[in-house]
Amino acid sequence: MDPVYYIYLATILFSIGAVGVLVRRNAIIVFMSVELMLNAANLVFVAFARMNGNLDGQTVAFFVMVVAAAEVVVGLAIIVQVFRTRQSASIDEPNLLKY
Amino acid sequence: MTIDGELVVFIICGGLTVIGALGMVLSRKAVHSALFIAMVMINLAILYVANSAPFLGMVQIIVYTGAVMMLFLFVLMVVGVDSSDSLIETIRGQRLFGILFGVALAVLLAGGIGTALTDKGDVGLDAANQEFGGNVEGIANLIFSDFLFAFQATAALLITAGLGAVILTHREAWKPKVTQKELSVARFMVGAGHPGNKPNPGVYARHNAVNTPAILPDGSLSLDSVPEPVRSRDDSLIIDHRVVSTVVELVEGEDQN
Amino acid sequence: MTVMPAEGLFSLMWLLIALPLAGAAILLFTGRRSNSWGPYLGVLSVCASAVLGVLLLIEMMGLPTEERAITQVVYQWVFVGDFTVDLAFQLDQLSMVFILLITIVGSLIHIYSLGYMSHDPDKRKFFGYLNLFVAAMLLLVMANNYLLLYVGWEGVGLASYLLIGFWQHKRTAAAAAKKAFIINRIGDVGLSLAIMLMFVTFGSVTFSDVFGSATQASEGTLTAIGLLLLLAAAGKSAQFPLQAWLLDAMEGPTPVSALIHAATMVTAGVYLIARSNVIYNNAEWAAMAVIVVALITIFMGAIIGSAKDDIKKALAGSTMSQIGYMMLAVGLGPIGYVFAIFHLVTHGVFKAGLFLGAGSVMHGMDDNVNMRRYGALRSVMVITFITFMAGYLAIIGIPPFSGFWSKDEIIHAAFERGWFIGGAAVLAAGITGFYMTRMVAMTFFGKKRWESDVHPHESSAVMTIPLIILGLGSTFLGMALLFWGDIKSWLEPVVGYESEPTPLPTTAYIGITLIVVIAGALIGWISYARREVPVDAPSGNWLTRAARRDLYGDAVNHALVVAPTNYAARALVWCDARAIDGFVNGSAAVVGGLSGRLRRTQSGFIRSYALSMVGGAVLVLLALLLVRI
């Protein structure tokens, strides 16, 4: 099987993630969409590692996971904090930085 | 195109990831979204394994599905399970252009990268894995040699992120903690309300369900006997007016006697 | 004409200007501290100048005729390359005459003002301005070059402006001051252009250089300079077409009208043309233009003077007319220069006397200037009446009063040029007889037409003594200058003199003139002394109505200058507001509007920003792929 199908799958997942970021207002779901996009990127790394016969791609995917874990921790902490002050998890609420 | 095992796995798991991803974006309830994305993660882990990355597949399940997704669910519980989105879009054109750009992105990425990479060979990782005796060993070799500095930097990053999360969610205690003794004293203070147990629901009533208020000896209803969450729901109180009138008659009869 | 350096007493000639200038500086800069003694200092400084002037005259009369032009260089003023202008004075017979006129008449008017302005709270300022005027006027007549003359010219304009508007709380006075200043400015432009033209043509603006090389310049250039100088003279001397300011200038205090707008400043134009005689002698058309302007002004002034009921405005019309005579004389060329100056001096004296007399009458009549409210004042104000009569007889030219000698000479010179000019001069003399008789009859004769609460009285000695001196001057100055002073040969070295034959003997012209004058006076007497003068002015014929409105001078100015300027200004304002401001404001509004729209994109919604990011990514991808393909 041509591994390029994984690339197609990854682009589809990435685009769905992007659309999720754009259309959903619940901060947690937006965050999940970001995770989905990261996973799509990871899939590409893994597929490229296989196509090139080189483990570097897998290693980078591993680091992406680590960084994603750190990001999730901080991001969710921020969401909790925002929820505490504004009683809402909508990302349209914190819009003070406007005209 | 020959049908091989990997293709079957790809079709099944790939299809499930796409369905999961779409479900994640489309479901109204955040909990459903979380479950959908967990499904995506698991299927991706299978695809990693199919791509001869068994280590990453395991890490994916342990870290993502196990840790990250549970963290998501935990936060969802904190924020509120039922905080479902209103489906009405408030920003004009956001949904239309979002979907438009998303489709454009998919088409362009797939078209551009896909055409560039189709039939560019499939070296496979067997040789690379064999070099150090396995996939995990190969990755370990890279992490502790070429990527050593990045690895140590991620350690610092994780520590910093953990500390950051603690600081972000920490709330300063402005008052000393109230002790049990002080609470008891406060309970018996004048004006603090009824110090004893609240009446059980259903006393003198036909039902003893939790949403049936007790009837006090003088015939009046005691709303304190119904728990607050139940009381706050509309039309949830069951009041049997015949019982109330009977009690009133009894009370009046005793008075006459 | 050789110019001698200043020696002996003549080295003090700068003091003539410095004394009143110092007086002005002290009075104007010390402020209220000098309120008590300031006016006396002002009078003293001018009197000192007058004494010095007389001493210089005696000194000059002792010199031989060809050495009477003396120059004193104070310092080098302008030096640019080859072009130098000195701050230098030239004292010759012509400027000597003017110095004496200015300082002596000025002194008398200063003394008179002590009485006239005694109750004015700003008396000190008034004397400061008067001193400033005297200094500027002396600078004008003593300058040895046109640039310094221009400084004096502007100085008198400034002093005139300040003094006309002295009672600036009166709107009319403030407006009159502005009007005088602005109309004078038109003339000043003529003078400055003339000076520039002289510099371009001769490379110098000194009198001696310009006159020395005048014959080498083309007649066209000289005509241009002459016409520009005529414009300047018309502005300063209230000649047609720049005559409109003089009548309004009577809003100033009466001593100002006497000194500035009768005796001295308004004659500066005559001085300018007489001083520039070499130019006019070589520019026939410019001289002709002077005559035309002069004749028009003589009749305008006389007609206006005949119709005005305001005594000062009637006198102002008469001043215009008399200066017209002087301009006529200078326009006639060498046959007239001497008599122009002669008439200028006698007119300066008798007109100052008439104005001060009018001031004395007004002082007694509670500042009422309407002659229809006067009448029968001859027994109440005896000294004023007698001195006024002396001035009256002088101005209409009855022998042996001073005006007779000077005006008769001008008329005679006019006949030397031709019948038409001479006849016009005689006719105007007849009108002079009419309007002056009218003034005298309305003021001093007839019945009392006073307002009920007016109690006329003779003025105090400080006012009557100058009147008496000026009255004596009106009576005897003409004879004195002509027979004892021999003004013809005195002025001849400076302005030149020649005589042309006339068809009739001189006595015939004197006779004709006298007959016409007496006829005019009789008409005036019959109309205004024999008949009842109505208190309310009758509507009169069209000429009277026109004359009351200054022969539509203001209307013409308004139609020709003011209204077009206003329209142009309004058009420019419109252009500025609509086109220029519109463009600027419009572009600002466009930028502002666009910014307002653009600002809306900063919605603060994270998802909007994310959308633009994704859109950008799509565009970048598209570009990459397009480049690849």
Say yes or no to pLDDT of B253 above 80: no
Structure tokens at A4: 């390029």
Chain C nearest-CA residue for B111: C625
Q: State the first-to-last Cα distance of chain B, in angstroms, to the nearest integer.
A: 99
What pLDDT is stored for residue C45 in this prediction?
A: 92
Least CB–CB distance from B109: residue in C615, C621, C628:
C621
CA distance C180 to C188: 12
Domains by residue range for chain B, with CATH: 1-81 (1.20.120.1200), 199-256 (no CATH)
| B103-123 mean pLDDT | 83
- State the Cα angle at C282 between C279 and C285, rounded to 5°: 95
Nearest partner of C433 among C306, C304, C297, C296, judged by Cα: C306
Longest dimension (CA), chain C: 121
With respect to residue C117, please indicate whether it lies within any of the assigned structural domains: yes
Query: What backbone torsions phi and psi does residue C508 show, to the nearest 5 degrees?
Result: -65, -45
- Among residues C133, C165, C197, the one where a domain terminates is C165
What pLDDT is stored for residue B213 in this prediction?
A: 80
Give A88 to chain C, closest Cα distance, Å: 15
- State whether residue B47 sits within 8 Å of chain A by CB: yes
Q: Which of residues 48-87 of A touch B (CB under 8 A)?
A: 49-56, 58-59, 61-63, 65-74, 76-81, 83
With respect to residue C397, please indicate whether it lies within any of the assigned structural domains: no
Chain C residue numbers touching B102 (CB-CB < 8 A): 614
Number of other residues whose CB lies within 10 A of the CB of residue B224: 16
For residue C315, give every residue at least 6 positions away whose Cβ sits within 8 Å of its Cβ, in sequence order, or none.
C250, C257, C262, C305, C351, C354, C355, C358, C439
Fold of A4-86: Helix Hairpins (1.10.287)
The number of residues in chain B equals: 257
- The CA–CA distances, whole Å, from C346 to B98, C233, C306, C342 equal 104, 20, 22, 6
What pLDDT is stored for residue C189 in this prediction?
A: 92
Say yes or no to pLDDT of B5 above 90: no
With respect to residue C32, please indicate whether it lies within any of the assigned structural domains: yes
What pLDDT is stored for residue B257 in this prediction?
A: 56
Instruction: Convert the pLDDT of each residue in C385-424 to its tens digit.
Output: 999 899 999 988 888 888 888 888 888 888 888 888 888 8
Instruction: Convert the pLDDT of each residue in B141-200 to its tens digit.
Output: 999 999 999 999 999 999 999 999 998 888 877 888 888 888 888 888 877 777 777 777
Least CB–CB distance from C614: residue in A18, A92, A96:
A18
Chain C nearest-CA residue for B99: C611
What pLDDT is stored for residue C569 in this prediction?
A: 92
- State whether residue B112 sits within 8 Å of chain C by CB: yes
Least CB–CB distance from B94: residue in C611, C622, C628:
C611
Instruction: Convert the pLDDT of each residue in B31-59 to its tens digit.
Output: 889 999 999 999 999 999 988 889 999 99
Say whether C85 sits in a helix, a strand or coil: strand
Residue C84, beta-bridge partner list: C79
- Among residues C165, C198, C218, the one where a domain terminates is C165
Partners of chain A (3+ Cβ pairs below 8 A):
B, C
Say yes or no to pLDDT of B1 above 60: no
* Domain housing C53: 1-165
What pLDDT is stored for residue C193 in this prediction?
A: 93
What pLDDT is stored for residue B201 in this prediction?
A: 67
Query: What backbone torsions phi and psi does residue B207 show, to the nearest 5 degrees?
Result: -105, 155
- State whether residue A21 sits within 8 Å of chain C by CB: yes
Say whether A45 sits in a helix, a strand or coil: helix
Q: Is C476 exposed, middle or buried (0-12, 13-18, 19+ CB in 10 A)?
A: middle
Say yes or no to pLDDT of C536 above 80: no
Put simply, the answer to whether B108 touches C608 (Cβ < 8 Å) is: no
| Highest mean pLDDT of the ranges B196-200, B242-246, C78-82, C129-133 | C129-133
Say whether C370 sits in a helix, a strand or coil: strand
Put simply, the answer to whether A21 touches C602 (Cβ < 8 Å) is: no
Chain A residue numbers touching C605 (CB-CB < 8 A): 91-92, 95, 98
Put simply, the answer to whether C603 touches A98 (Cβ < 8 Å) is: yes
Put simply, the answer to whether B40 touches A56 (Cβ < 8 Å) is: no
C-beta separation of C313 from C284 below 8 A: no
Give C612 to chain A, closest Cα distance, Å: 10
Q: How confident is the model at residue B81 (pLDDT cuts 50, 70, 90)?
A: low
- Among residues C101, C135, C165, the one where a domain terminates is C165
Partners of chain C (3+ Cβ pairs below 8 A):
A, B
C-beta separation of C298 from C425 below 8 A: yes
CA distance B36 to C130: 105
Query: What backbone torsions phi and psi does residue B213 show, to the nearest 5 degrees?
Result: -70, 150
With respect to residue C149, please indicate whether it lies within any of the assigned structural domains: yes
Q: What is the mean pLDDT of chain B?
A: 83
CA distance B47 to A13: 13
CA distance B104 to B94: 15
What string of DSSP letters covers C218-280?
-HHHHHHHHHHHHHHHHHHTT-TTS-HHHHHGGGS-HHHHHIIIIISGGGHHHHHHHHTHHHH
Find which of A48, A65, A73, A95 to mutate to test the B interface (most B CBs within 10 Å of its CB): A73
Least CB–CB distance from A91: residue in C599, C607, C614:
C607
Cα A1 to the center of its chain, rounded Å = 27
What pLDDT is stored for residue C398 in this prediction?
A: 85
Structure tokens at C2: 């050789």
For residue B111, give every residue at least 6 positions away whose Cβ sits within 8 Å of its Cβ, in sequence order, or none.
C625
Chain C nearest-CA residue for A26: C607
Of C502 and C264, the one with more pLDDT: C264
Give B230 to chain C, closest Cα distance, Å: 38
- State whether residue A94 sits within 8 Å of chain B by CB: no
Give A91 to chain C, closest Cα distance, Å: 7
Of C46 and C502, the one with more pLDDT: C46
Say yes or no to pLDDT of A60 above 90: yes
Nearest partner of C430 among C405, C400, C406, C407, judged by Cα: C407
Chain B residue numbers touching C608 (CB-CB < 8 A): 91, 94
- Among residues of chain C, what percentage have pLDDT more than 90? 17
- State whether residue C119 sits within 8 Å of chain B by CB: no
CA distance C293 to C336: 16
For the packed helices A4-23 and B30-50, what is the interaxial angle rounded to 10 degrees? Answer: 160
Say yes or no to pLDDT of C502 above 80: no
CA distance C413 to A78: 112
CA distance A21 to C611: 9
- State whether residue C584 sits within 8 Å of chain B by CB: no
- State whether residue B173 sits within 8 Å of chain C by CB: no
- State whether residue C597 sits within 8 Å of chain A by CB: no
Number of other residues whose CB lies within 10 A of the CB of residue B93: 11
Chain A residue numbers touching B12 (CB-CB < 8 A): none
Number of domains in chain C: 2
Cβ pairs B/C, distance under 8 A:
32
Chain B nearest-CA residue for C607: B94
- State whether residue B41 sits within 8 Å of chain A by CB: yes
**Which helix (H) or strand (E) covers residue B38, if one does?**
helix B30-50
With respect to residue C620, please indicate whether it lies within any of the assigned structural domains: yes
Give A96 to chain B, closest Cα distance, Å: 16
Give B68 to chain A, closest Cα distance, Å: 7
CA distance B94 to B98: 6
Q: How confident is the model at residue C133 (pLDDT cuts 50, 70, 90)?
A: very high
Q: How confident is the model at residue B87 (pLDDT cuts 50, 70, 90)?
A: low
Chain C nearest-CA residue for B98: C611
With respect to residue C174, please indicate whether it lies within any of the assigned structural domains: no
For residue C404, give every residue at least 6 positions away whose Cβ sits within 8 Å of its Cβ, in sequence order, or none.
C394, C397, C398, C478
Put simply, the answer to whether B91 touches A51 (Cβ < 8 Å) is: no
- The CA–CA distances, whole Å, from C31 to C169, C440, C604 equal 20, 41, 68
For residue C546, give every residue at least 6 positions away whose Cβ sits within 8 Å of its Cβ, in sequence order, or none.
C303, C552
Put simply, the answer to whether C614 touches B94 (Cβ < 8 Å) is: no
Chain B residue numbers touching A14 (CB-CB < 8 A): 105-106, 109
What pLDDT is stored for residue B2 in this prediction?
A: 66
- State whether residue A98 sits within 8 Å of chain C by CB: yes
With respect to residue C480, please indicate whether it lies within any of the assigned structural domains: no
CA distance C111 to C486: 30
What pLDDT is stored for residue C364 in this prediction?
A: 83
Put simply, the answer to whether C615 touches B101 (Cβ < 8 Å) is: yes
Put simply, the answer to whether C604 touches A22 (Cβ < 8 Å) is: no
| C314-324 mean pLDDT | 90
CA distance C578 to C572: 10
Say yes or no to pLDDT of C266 above 60: yes
- State whether residue B227 sits within 8 Å of chain C by CB: no
DSSP symbol at C526: I
Instruction: Convert the pLDDT of each residue in C588-627 to its tens digit.
Output: 999 999 998 888 778 888 888 899 999 999 999 999 888 8
What pLDDT is stored for residue A2 in this prediction?
A: 81
CA distance C160 to C171: 17
Give B238 to chain A, closest Cα distance, Å: 33
Q: State the first-to-last Cα distance of chain A, in angstroms, to the nearest integer.
A: 53
Chain C residue numbers touching A20 (CB-CB < 8 A): none
Residue C401: CA atoms inside 13 Å, Cβ hemisphere, count?
A: 22
Strand arrangement of the beta sheet that strand C70-80 belongs to: C4-5, C70-80, C83-91
Q: Where are the alpha helices (DSSP H) in C62-170?
A: 93-100, 106-116, 123-142, 146-164
Domain ranges of chain A: 4-86
Chain C nearest-CA residue for B106: C618
Chain C residue numbers touching B94 (CB-CB < 8 A): 607-608, 611
Nearest partner of C435 among C483, C395, C492, judged by Cα: C395
ipTM of the complex: 0.92
Q: How confident is the model at residue B85 (pLDDT cuts 50, 70, 90)?
A: low
Least CB–CB distance from B101: residue in C605, C614, C628:
C614
Least CB–CB distance from B139: residue in A55, A77, A92:
A55
Instruction: Convert the pLDDT of each residue in C359-371 to its tens digit.
Output: 888 888 888 888 8
CA distance C153 to C315: 24
C-beta separation of B251 from B217 below 8 A: yes
- State whether residue C610 sits within 8 Å of chain A by CB: yes
